[in-house]
């Protein structure tokens, strides 16, 4: 069986990371099965995908989950067993000594706060992109990482992709010749692509912790659409830029070795998906 130390050595040598990075290379508190014990904070679609990717390696064990909706916590027990710890309060996750690291899959407006709290609690962090909701949130996260010396990885799939790694190798080897232009786009003409996710029939203030969900965002009355379709609202998300542009930019920067453009030019108009375009087999 691979040990924690061997896992770190292997991933570092490969230059490739999967959620979740292991605890730092130091004398570990080895669990009974010698796996990295992780918790998921934010059990929506992306969070659950990250948890599956992590546990599929056989090197991690998911022992706890946190979400503001009862239905997702129930689902986590169905998938990972009735013994995993579940809560709506992420501080209860951070207080547990048996958790080495956390995956943060919450709405964007919670990323910086939970990342900082987790590192200060001695946990390593895999935080879904974007790392923060607002630019001003970034510096405190970086400062917390430096002060605690914890692992802090931002979940940008293109930067972790073996496909993009190969593209980088080909580009650097000159295999494609001189780079003149890169064209990239997203085609998401569907309900899910427009962030109009299905709202569960039991969505209410008893099954959903609306107050905790809102966090630092402006307080509003209960709204199931805001809760389950939070990407549609500036109060909780980062819009197209944080949800989609970040993938295009991070992938481009990784392949070319760029850290950003010297000039930016934008042109176009208002583009949107309408309900008339919805596929008949995906009603809401």
pTM for this entry: 0.82
Cα–Cα separations (whole angstroms), residue 192 to 39, 244, 279:
26, 13, 11
Question: What pLDDT, in 10s, does the model give residues 73-110?
Answer: 999 999 999 999 999 999 999 999 999 999 999 999 99
Structural tokens at position 140: 């405190």
Please give the backbone phi and psi of residue 161, each rounded to the nearest 5 degrees, phi first: -85, 135
Alpha carbon distance 110, 141 (integer Å): 12
Tell me which of 3.30.160.110, 3.40.50.12780, 3.40.605.10, 3.40.50.720 is the CATH number of domain 4-160: 3.40.50.720
At residue 12, the pLDDT reads 36
* 7 band by pLDDT with thresholds 50, 70 and 90: very low
Q: What distance in Å separates the CA atoms of residue 281 and residue 209, rounded to the nearest whole number?
A: 31
pLDDT tens-digit map of 64-79: 999 999 999 999 999 9
pLDDT of residue 61: 97
pLDDT at residue 190, as a whole number: 83
Helix crossing, 246-256 with 162-172: angle to 10°? 40
Give SS3 for 257.
coil
Task: Residue 107: name the closest of 123, 76, 129, 137 by CA.
Answer: 129
Residues of the chain with CATH 3.40.50.720: 4-160
Strand, coil or helix: 61: strand
Higher-confidence residue: 58 or 28? Answer: 58
> In terms of pLDDT, which residue wins out, 242 or 115?
115
**Which pair of tokens denotes residue 226?**
């805001």
Q: How many residues are present in the chain?
A: 284
- Strands (E) across the chain are located at 36-41, 60-66, 85-87, 101-104, 124-128, 152-155
Placement of tokens 């605890």 in the chain: 23
**Looking at the DSSP assignment, which residues form a beta bridge with residue 104?**
41, 127
pLDDT for the residue numbered 47: 96
Q: Which two tokens stand for residue 117?
A: 């709290």
Supply the pLDDT for residue 269: 64
Angstrom distance (rounded) from CA 154 to CA 129: 6
Inter-residue contact 228 to 196 (CB < 8 Å): no
Residue 248: φ, ψ to 5°: -65, -45
């Amino acid at each position: 069986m691979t040990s924690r130390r061997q896992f770190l050595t292997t991933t570092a040598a490969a230059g490739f990371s999967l959620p979740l990075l292991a605890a730092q290379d130091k004398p570990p508190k080895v669990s009974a099965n010698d796996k990295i014990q992780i918790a998921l904070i934010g059990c929506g679609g992306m969070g659950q995908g990250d948890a599956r990717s992590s546990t599929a390696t056989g090197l991690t064990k998911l022992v706890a989950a946190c979400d503001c909706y009862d239905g997702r916590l129930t689902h986590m027990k169905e998938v990972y067993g009735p013994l995993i710890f579940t809560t709506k309060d992420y501080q209860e996750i951070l207080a547990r000594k048996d958790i080495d690291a956390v995956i943060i899959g919450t709405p964007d407006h919670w990323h910086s706060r939970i990342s900082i709290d987790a590192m200060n609690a001695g946990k390593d962090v895999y935080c879904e992109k974007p790392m923060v909701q607002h630019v001003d949130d970034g510096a405190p996260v970086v400062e917390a990482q430096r002060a605690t010396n914890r692992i802090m990885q931002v979940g940008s799939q293109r930067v972790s992709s073996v496909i993009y790694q190969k593209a980088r190798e080909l580009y650097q080897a000159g295999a494609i010749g001189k780079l003149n232009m890169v064209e990239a786009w997203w085609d998401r003409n569907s309900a899910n692509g427009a962030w109009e996710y299905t709202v569960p029939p039991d969505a209410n203030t008893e099954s959903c912790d609306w107050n905790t969900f809102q966090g630092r965002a402006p307080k509003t009355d209960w709204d199931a659409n805001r809760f389950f379709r939070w990407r549609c609202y500036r109060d909780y998300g980062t819009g197209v830029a944080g949800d989609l542009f970040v993938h295009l930019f991070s992938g481009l920067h990784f392949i070319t070795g760029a850290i950003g453009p010297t000039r930016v030019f934008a042109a176009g108009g208002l583009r949107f998906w309408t309900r008339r375009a919805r596929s008949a087999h995906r009603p809401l």
